[in-house]
Structure 1
Amino acid sequence: MSVRDDDLVPVERALASHPEFSDAPTITLKAAEFYRFAVDLLSERSATVAGLADAIRDETGEIPVAVTEDPLVRVVLDEAVSRLEQGFLDESAWTEVVTLLRLVAEALDAHGASAAPTGAGISKGRTVRVAPGRDAWLCGTGAGSTAALDRTFLGTFERDFLRGVPGDLLEPTDEHARRLDEGFAALNALLPELGASVGAHYVGVGMVDVRTEGETFLAGNVGRIPAVVFFSPNRTARPWRLAETALHEGLHLKLFDIQRSASLFTAPERLADGPKIKVPWLKWASMVAPNAWALDRALGAFHVYAHLVLFRAALRTRLTPDLRERFGDPEPSDPPSLYRFGTERARYLGEEILARGGDELTAHGREFVSWLLATVDAVKEPTGV
């Protein structure tokens, strides 16, 4: 028995369009509204911030989406709102907000009112088509740039992405751009609804050479540079390899945006000291790769594995001759075993999160996990493969 393509359509649609847990237009709109609210909140408390915000607003009086999506803007506003919630925003935090808004206004003056403030400078106008109608800026090394926003982005990359690990942000070549376009095109051809839903959460992409000892760096993103994913050349070498990686990393971006407008955990700040989930497919533990995960890390992995169940089923059933001719054949996988692939990992993590989450999960969070488990169970596993 093989998985029929018709069996995958409702699962893909569910994973791409649930109004609270996956619908990209709704989720990204809520995220944009949060950051607009943050600017308004800060403007009420500072005439300087209010004046700078007015200089950024468009003809309708709104903060443009390109600004609310900007990774540096998001981080500074997140931190400012968090401090306000704790009751006090000190002088250094106000200075950071004012400085960033001034730099954003300068970038919009230099590159156009609809430009991505950080992206326009660091990418020099280069983009990657991550989904139909959706481009992400392709960041470069900033060589020769003296723009303060560019230097801030590059400093954040060094400090918060590399974190002391040897590596470099690469100046993208035409070949890099072509491979990125091709890999995202493969994802969107295989899973058109899910690809578009995940692509909506990409703002920027970059190419990196990260030299880790004992393991190969594939791709990654970091909370201090939200909505930007950095890929190694290894992951762009073949279209299906990049398609899976682009889906994986894009799901992390999506989960960040989901949590921006929906509370999944009752007290996220306590999770590091809360329940841990043993990871049976990680036999050894280290400081870098523990084999017992906090609930938020387990949820991030579970969210990805639940979608990879669909991706791998689609690779088995949706590869038409046209797709094979255009993108080649997927690379062979390892022989199946318990916890080797997404299905068993997803079921294990989802069930463990529900069992151990207790009071750490909100009712909304439990519903989210249960919904993902249901989508995993809805993908019928083939026999004889």
Structure 2
Amino acid sequence: MPASPSAAEPVTDLVAQADTMLCADRQFGDSAAIGERNLARFRLGLTMLARHDGEAADVLRTTAAAADEHLRPLLYDPVLRNCFEVDLARLESGRLGHSSFGAYVSGYVPTPAADAPSSMSSMGPCEALIRPYRSAWPGLGDAWVLTEPTPHGSSQEKLVGRLIELYRGALGDIRAAAPVDPADSVRAVLREGAELLATLLPAAGPGVLGHVTMVGFTHRESEEGPLQSMSGGDPLPSTVLLAPERCTSPWLAAESLLHEGAHLKLFDALRTGSVVKNATERVPIPWRIGSWTVIRVFVALHFYVHLLVFRAAAASAGEAVRERFGPPPSVEDLDEPSPGTPAARSGEYRTSAERARYLAECVLSLPEQALTEHGHRFARWLLAALRVVDDDAPRPHDRAEATTRRAEPWQPPENPSGGVLQRITPVDACALPGLGQLVVSPTRSARMHWLNARSWTVYSLCDGRDLGSVRTAYARAVDLPADSEEVNRQVSDSVRRLVAADLITHDM
């Protein structure tokens, strides 16, 4: 049940607190920081691809060196982002061949459409094919509405063919009809839904919308019923697909955009920080047949926390909001469990709050070693936001298992005391000093590595010094006693990770 506010902490204050918390974490909540890291990953990834594809090397390196305002539309173009991710996966597995990204971007000149907003300095290739140009939510972001593209020339026809191929692949139907050209009334409600989302959640709403590039309307029937909404992910990046019926009211449209936009935001965040160590570990889900991976549990919990904050905001919406957008739905639509599941038999887990609590308990019961450092941070952040709007959300002390299944106390890793520590060269890297992060890839490697401020400092000191000298210099840099346990812990842990990543060597 939603939190019961005290006289000193009314619902509106709790909603504002939760809204702020959803954007506070620099790794997973701050959309500007997420975008900055993804641009750095994009630049470095293109440089890595250029090392292995001589034919497209020049255009890849030129693209990597472009200004942010020209690079961003390429990163968030659905076709180019898909090509980039596929290229990186093939590079890592040793199967790259030629870069498909390089093939599509060769000869592309970023030129805004005549009817595009004057504030847009450039467009992605797919966006530039849409005529007439239709902004999804003017004033809140550069997202655009997908209609039937109008290509000119063979290169544009190839791009359109790939876009429609990805669109049908995301729907799971190669025979799916072309995207629906939405009526003016549908587009008007879409815009109102975005404005409502930004009004109710002034911190989290615009951030979520900023991760959406393309909005498409479609009809699809499946064994599970008609499509309501979906986000593209890898198959159709930066894209939200909606049934036109989701835009019959601003409230329905706003909830759909929050749902799918939150997924896209998390998709971008996870590209620069994994949360689980074992991608195959599974968790039983009582309202669905079968089980989910831990990462899917996190994805679902991430959405449910956002949804509960949105509904708390809706419940406390003032008269101005109700007059502009109409009254919010009075009752939550119940989601029936899959037939034959434990939840279907017991009648439980039909509401978002019940499901969020169950998923939170799953996270709390995970052994500590199942999650990465980012995973623990992600869990703490989500659970803290959930508890603001749900008094009944589980806390760590609610589950004995959460304390009995902890990993053994930390022990200093074994590092040789003699010899010198030396950075491997040459490398390509992108620095993000404002975030305290460095992303780096040795030129002989097909992988990139993210260093936090601590590891970055240690990495910079591995210039032929021995371990003791690195500790001394590190202590001076972070203003800690050189002989402290904390310095020994931080340096030893960083050195271990840098050696494991093949970023430094230890030469005797």
What band does the TM-score fall into relative to the shorter chain?
Answer: 0.7 to 0.9
Q: Which letter does structure 2 place at the counterpart of 1:49?
A: A
Contact 2:285 2:291 in 1 (8 A): yes
Residue 20 in 1 paired to residue 20 in 2? no
Identity %: 27
Deviations 1:328-384 (A, max 9, x none): 1122325888533333322211221342466442121122112211111122559xx
Alignment RMSD (CA, Å): 2.8
Q: Which of residues 26, 39, 42 is equivalent to 1:32?
A: 39
Deviations 1:56-91 (A, max 9, x none): 5777598621112222222222222223223x2443
Aligned to 1:117: 125
Mapped to 1, the partners of 2:331 and 2:71 lie a distance apart of: 44
Aligned to 1:328: 326
TM-score by length of 2: 0.65
Q: Which of residues 164, 171, 177 is equivalent to 2:181?
A: 171
Contact 1:218 1:232 in 2 (8 A): yes
Mapped to 2, the partners of 1:322 and 1:301 lie a distance apart of: 32
Deviations 1:100-159 (A, max 9, x none): 222xx33636859711221221464211117x4412011112267662212210111112
1:331-370 map, 5 Å: 331-334=329-332, 338-356=348-366, 359-370=369-380
Q: Which letter does structure 1 place at the counterpart of 2:298?
A: L
Question: Following TM superposition, by how much is the alpha carbon of 1:7 offset from its aligned partner in structure 2, in angstroms?
Answer: 1.8
Contact 1:36 1:63 in 2 (8 A): no
Structure (1 or 2) with the larger CA radius of gyration? 2
Mapped to 2, the partners of 1:306 and 1:138 lie a distance apart of: 28
Mapped to 1, the partners of 2:306 and 2:327 lie a distance apart of: 21
Aligned-partner SS, 2:26: coil
More deviation in 51-60 or 180-189?
A: 51-60
Which of the two has greater helix per residue?
1
Question: Following TM superposition, by how much is the alpha carbon of 1:99 offset from its aligned partner in structure 2, in angstroms?
Answer: 1.7
Aligned to 2:117: none
TM-score by length of 1: 0.85
More deviation in 324-333 or 140-149?
A: 140-149
Aligned to 2:110: 108
Residue 207 in 1 paired to residue 217 in 2? yes
1:142-153 map, 5 Å: 142=149, 147=156, 148-153=158-163
Mapped to 2, the partners of 1:119 and 1:297 lie a distance apart of: 31
Unaligned segments of structure 2, at least 5 residues: 115-120, 335-346, 393-508
Aligned to 2:100: 96
Mapped to 1, the partners of 2:237 and 2:76 lie a distance apart of: 9
Aligned-partner SS, 2:88: helix
Residue 276 in 1 paired to residue 282 in 2? yes
Contact 2:47 2:61 in 1 (8 A): no
Deviations 1:237-287 (A, max 9, x none): 1110111111010110011011011111225xxx3xx332222234xx3xx
Check 1:115–1:280 CA distance in 2 against 1; reply closer, same or farther (3 A cut): same
Paired residues in the alignment total: 363
Contact 2:43 2:64 in 1 (8 A): no
Mapped to 2, the partners of 1:302 and 1:125 lie a distance apart of: 36
Check 1:123–1:29 CA distance in 2 against 1; reply closer, same or farther (3 A cut): farther
Mapped to 1, the partners of 2:161 and 2:213 lie a distance apart of: 18
Deviations 1:194-231 (A, max 9, x none): 10111111111111111224523110022211111011
